[in-house]
Structure 1
Amino acid sequence: MRLNWSAYYAVLFLYRCVFSVLGQTVVMRLTSIPDTEGYQSHGLGYVAYATSQMSFDPALTMQGQATLITAIVGAFFSFLGGGNPILINIGFQTIAFIGIWRMLDALDPEIRKYCAVLVMLPSFSVWSSIASKEAIVVFLVGMLGRYIIQIYQGRGRLRIRHVLWFFLLYVFKPHFAPAILFLIGVPLVARWSRQPAAIAVGAGFVSLIPLYLLRDSVDAYVLRVVRSVYAEPGASTRDERIISQAYDFFAHAPQGMFRAFMGPTLSEATSGILHLMSFAESILIVVLILLYVVPRLPRLPAYLAIVSFFTVFWVLLANYPLGIANPGTAVRYRTDWLLLIFLGTIFLCSRAVYMGWRAPRARLVRIEEAQPAAVPQPG
């Protein structure tokens, strides 16, 4: 039976609205979410708090700008919904839904059906369906994800709106920039090359050069951020600190990336129903991705394997310091970049994507080969 995608999108919207309700009536009673409460109840009064963050540190300035933007969105939905927190949640949910829908709609139906299942996972749904920065970030990632997909389909044309989406995402999540720029830049450069895999390898290593050259500054900044997180009361529920001294960010990256993706450990999963559900969901994500990717590996073009690897690497490396202090925080922050993981695995591990992307190059080669050799004219 052919799937009616219009019906699916309608169901997805209603499904996510349910999580807007559950997030307010269940999740927020089980755990405190101060920023969501602020966006719901204070409206533009949150502007003063956002402004107070815009000092001393450029990163904090961007954090304050992101908070300010989210507060303005919250005030707008508060006005429309009469201050009802559930209606405010549904407003934020709608923003995230548009990004998810636009990204899914750009995918080939064969790939879309896999992603359609993954975007319905509970924790992703709840954190992107309440008043939060996550809802806005999911929208921005979804819109940029659509553009990346269209590049591989030969329909990607850079527009002002794409620059705007990237700029706004940079305000919210500047550390997403390496993965996004890599995903956009590599196919644009490698499309007409005879050796796209070599271009991808070269681009991957070139992307590491700034990290190497700025390693001291990056390490110092990460250490400062992690220490500030642990300094906040209740911000960390883990005694073990993966990052506690110089260069731990690099030395413990594999362990940190794994823990930030998985969220709760097995022992933490038994401490509460939310942690147990998050742990089960993390296992499910890994299993579903492996079931999709592993059978396709033998026929996967080297180019796609390389781009997929560097995409996942940049996403996990840049995000793991924020997700290692608290299993709940890890799952919440994972909502921001989960669509990028789906792009780097489900989308980029499809041979059909590669063949469609290389089709113009193949047609050009056939045309060149079909042209008759020039016949010398008699002198």
Structure 2
Amino acid sequence: MHTSRHQLLAIFLLKIAYAFFAVFVFSKFTSLGDTQDYLHGEHLDRNNIASTAYLMSFIGVTLGTWGGFILCLGLSVSGIIYLLEKTRFSARNNALVMILIALPSFGVWTSIFSKEVFVLFSFCLCTGGLIDLLTRRRRFFSLLQIAGLALLTFMKPHYSVSIYLSVAGILAYHAGFRKELMLALMVLMSVICVGLCIRYVDEIYQYTQIMPLHFSQSGGSTRHNTFWLDEWDFFIYLPIGVPMAFIGPTLPEAIHSLKLIPSSIEGHFLFGFILLNGWRAVFYGKQLNVMGLLLMMSFVLVLFLTHYPFGLFNPGSAIRYRSGFIFPLCVFVIFLATRNRPLKGG
């Protein structure tokens, strides 16, 4: 089912409504990230085109408030529509997608002038490329999708790792790798990753001590670093830290500050939604879909892990950073889950 005019209009109106809500309501309770800094050219003194902050400031000053709003509206809506056209969901799944688009955090952070809009746009192009590869519509990314991958790599290189690994896995599958070999490769890659973590544990520990310094301790929702105190804590805390970094405000934090309750409910809903559909993507009956497992590891798990250090220390930052990839992540997981038969050989 292709995107209908009514759905396109609904998406367009939702983005406009959230933009006005962000500026005139949401901004009264919290800062809108770096939006005002970009629009006022606060980072132009860097004069470095390799700096995302510089480029965002350059675009903001060049286009102005309304020009920046129109650009981000166009990027956000076109990215969403592009990905939905690739999925060709049923009416039921399209209704589910509209619920995702209407979620407050996604609506706010991808409707204003922000990096998250550029991440969303590029991620939608890349995820559309993964779907093309899976369904054999293309043998490799199109020029537009390659441009999207380049933009994503520039804006958020750590998130782009999920795309590169997923492309490699899909191409290996299409090259005729049997499921037994695919499983063996996944185990081998996991062992290599563990080995690298052990080898570079000292460097990782130094990084964990620098990371909390990027978050102001005077911020109302900033968490104190009680997580990474010893050299192995980064890994020991993974089972708790990864969900916390993705969800944002925990239930105790939301109870302590009632304004965080909507964000906490939304975060828990999204986390449960991804786990449930991820399970459906990996298992069919009593059998294992190896391709589904591979993509859940290379795409979903890698995104969770790369988001972990950036989202753990501030629930607000966790929500904002998550908004750039949450829509393509959820859509891709739905796409995998609704393939109710295993891929050939998978």
Asked if Structure 1 and Structure 2 have the same fold, meaning a TM-score greater than 0.5 normalized by the shorter chain, the answer is yes
Q: Give the corresponding residue for 2:151.
A: 168
2:52 to 66, 83, 86: 66
Shift of 1:34: 5.1
Cα 1:108–1:205, aligned 2, differ >3 Å: closer, same or farther?
A: farther
Deviations 1:50-71 (A, max 9, x none): 44xx6xxxxxx95xx1112222
Shift of 1:196: 3.5
How far apart, CA to CA, are the structure 1 residues paired with 2:11 and 2:154?
A: 28
Cα 1:239–1:72, aligned 2, differ >3 Å: closer, same or farther?
A: same
Cα 1:353–1:29, aligned 2, differ >3 Å: closer, same or farther?
A: farther
Q: Give the corresponding residue for 1:313.
A: 301
Cα 1:305–1:22, aligned 2, differ >3 Å: closer, same or farther?
A: same
Instruction: Report matched runs for 1:127-138 at 5 Å.
Output: 127-138=109-120
Q: Which runs of 5+ in 1 are unaligned?
A: 55-60, 363-379
Cα 1:288–1:246, aligned 2, differ >3 Å: closer, same or farther?
A: closer
Instruction: Tell me the secondary structure at the aligned position of residue 313 of structure 2.
Output: coil
Cα contact 1:308–1:348 (8 A) shared by 2: no
Q: Give the corresponding residue for 1:15.
A: 14
How far apart, CA to CA, are the structure 2 residues paired with 1:142 and 1:208?
A: 31
Instruction: Tell me the secondary structure at the aligned position of residue 228 of structure 2.
Output: coil
Q: Give the corresponding residue for 2:83.
A: 103
How far apart, CA to CA, are the structure 1 residues paired with 2:184 and 2:149?
A: 24
The residue type equivalent to 1:25 in the other structure is F
Cα contact 2:211–2:309 (8 A) shared by 1: yes
How far apart, CA to CA, are the structure 1 residues paired with 2:57 and 2:339?
A: 43
How far apart, CA to CA, are the structure 2 residues paired with 1:278 and 1:236?
A: 13
Cα 1:350–1:326, aligned 2, differ >3 Å: closer, same or farther?
A: same
Moved more, 135-144 or 280-289: 280-289
- State the identity as a percent: 24
Instruction: Report matched runs for 1:1-379 at 5 Å.
Output: 5-33=4-32, 35-40=34-39, 42-43=40-41, 46-48=43-45, 50-51=46-47, 65-78=51-64, 83-84=65-66, 88-110=68-90, 111-156=93-138, 157-193=140-176, 195-196=178-179, 198-199=181-182, 201-203=184-186, 205-206=188-189, 209=192, 212-213=195-196, 215-216=200-201, 219-220=204-205, 222-230=207-215, 233-234=218-219, 237-272=222-257, 274-289=259-274, 292=277, 297-299=283-285, 301-342=289-330, 345-352=333-340, 354-355=342-343, 358=344
Shift of 1:293: 5.0
How far apart, CA to CA, are the structure 2 residues paired with 1:118 and 1:253?
A: 26
Cα 1:27–1:102, aligned 2, differ >3 Å: closer, same or farther?
A: same
Cα contact 1:229–1:235 (8 A) shared by 2: no
TM-score after normalising by structure 1 = 0.78
Deviations 1:284-305 (A, max 9, x none): 2234445545566333623212
Cα 1:316–1:293, aligned 2, differ >3 Å: closer, same or farther?
A: closer
Cα 1:237–1:14, aligned 2, differ >3 Å: closer, same or farther?
A: same
Shift of 1:138: 0.6
Pair member with larger Rg = 1
How far apart, CA to CA, are the structure 2 residues paired with 1:95 and 1:274?
A: 30
Shift of 1:212: 3.5
Cα 1:330–1:354, aligned 2, differ >3 Å: closer, same or farther?
A: same
Q: What is the CA RMSD across the aligned residues, in angstroms?
A: 3.0
Shift of 1:184: 1.1
Cα contact 2:254–2:264 (8 A) shared by 1: yes
TM-score after normalising by structure 2 = 0.85
How far apart, CA to CA, are the structure 2 residues paired with 1:288 and 1:153?
A: 24
Cα 1:24–1:131, aligned 2, differ >3 Å: closer, same or farther?
A: same
Instruction: Tell me the secondary structure at the aligned position of residue 109 of structure 1.
Output: coil
Instruction: Tell me the secondary structure at the aligned position of residue 158 of structure 1.
Output: coil
Higher relative contact order (CA 8 A, sep 6+): 2
The residue type equivalent to 2:84 in the other structure is L
How far apart, CA to CA, are the structure 2 residues paired with 1:74 and 1:174?
A: 22
Cα contact 1:140–1:168 (8 A) shared by 2: yes
Q: Give the corresponding residue for 1:367.
A: none
How far apart, CA to CA, are the structure 1 residues paired with 2:121 and 2:6?
A: 21
Cα 1:194–1:323, aligned 2, differ >3 Å: closer, same or farther?
A: closer
Q: How many residues of Structure 1 are paired with residues of Structure 2 in the alignment?
A: 338
How far apart, CA to CA, are the structure 2 residues paired with 1:200 and 1:76?
A: 50
The residue type equivalent to 2:101 in the other structure is V
How far apart, CA to CA, are the structure 2 residues paired with 1:76 and 1:149?
A: 35
The residue type equivalent to 1:67 in the other structure is A
How far apart, CA to CA, are the structure 1 residues paired with 2:52 and 2:341?
A: 34
